[in-house]
Amino acid sequence: MVSDDLDKLCEDIAGKASQRRIGVAESLSGGNIAARLSRAPSSGDWFSGGIIAYRPEVKHHLLQVPDGPVVCAAAAEAMVTSSARLLEADLVVAVTGEAGPQSQEDDPGTVWFGTFDGGEVTSSCRLFDGEPAEIVTATITFALTLLHERLQS
C-alpha cells in the first residue's frame, strides 16, 4: 500500500534527520509532502516547514522564480534556494509541475524537482504517467526519496 510505504519512508527520514533542518517548497503536491513529514516522529526537532506556491504569481513573488515558465529547472532551483533562506533549512526539496488533465506549460506528468543540500543546488525532471492523483502521489514519493537519499550521503 502506497500510504504505508510513504509513512515508512518518512519514519526513515526522521531517524536520519538529527542535526538537520529540512524544508519543502511545493506546487502541484499542494502541501502533501509537508503534511507527511510533519506527522513523522520528532518532526518538531528537524522539520522547519513548507511553502505552498501553487499559482505562478506566488512562485515569482515569494520564491523569486524568474519571469517565464514555472515548470523548469530554473523554477525548481529558485524555489529551493528561496525556501532554504526563508525556512532557515539546510536540506530542502521543491516540486513544480503539471499533474493534468489539462496542461498550462508542459505535458501532464512533467515534474521538476529541486534540492538544496548545504548550499548545493540541483534539479532534475521526471515524467510520470497516470491520472492527476497518481502523478501527485508519484511526485510525493519521489520528493521524499530525494530527501532520504540526501540524508544517507
pLDDT at 1: 45
Q: How far apart are CA 142 and CA 4, in angstroms?
A: 15
- Residue 88: helix, strand or coil by DSSP? coil
pLDDT at 101: 82
Q: Is the model's pLDDT at 146 over the cut of 80? A: yes
Distances (CA, A) of 23 to 2, 3, 11, 36, 79: 22, 21, 16, 12, 11
pLDDT digits (tens, 9 = 90+) for 127-143: 999 999 999 999 999 99
pLDDT digits (tens, 9 = 90+) for 9-63: 999 999 999 899 999 999 999 999 999 999 999 999 999 999 999 999 999 999 9
pLDDT digits (tens, 9 = 90+) for 89-108: 999 999 999 998 877 778 89
Candidates 57, 58, 54, 74; CA nearest to 66 is 74
In sequence order, which ranges of 63-112 are alpha helices (DSSP H)? 73-87
Beta pairing, strands 47-52 & 91-97:
unpaired
Q: Is the Cβ–Cβ distance between 92 and 37 less than 8 Å? A: no
Share of the chain above pLDDT 90, in %: 91
Q: What is the pTM of this model?
A: 0.94
pLDDT at 43: 97
CA-CA-CA-CA torsion sign (77, 79, 81, 82): positive
Q: Is the Cβ–Cβ distance between 93 and 151 less than 8 Å? A: no
Q: Is the model's pLDDT at 121 over the cut of 60? A: yes
Q: Which CATH superfamily is domain 2-152 in?
A: CinA-like (3.90.950.20)
Q: How far apart are CA 40 and CA 7, in angstroms?
A: 8
Q: How far apart are CA 89 and CA 139, in angstroms?
A: 21
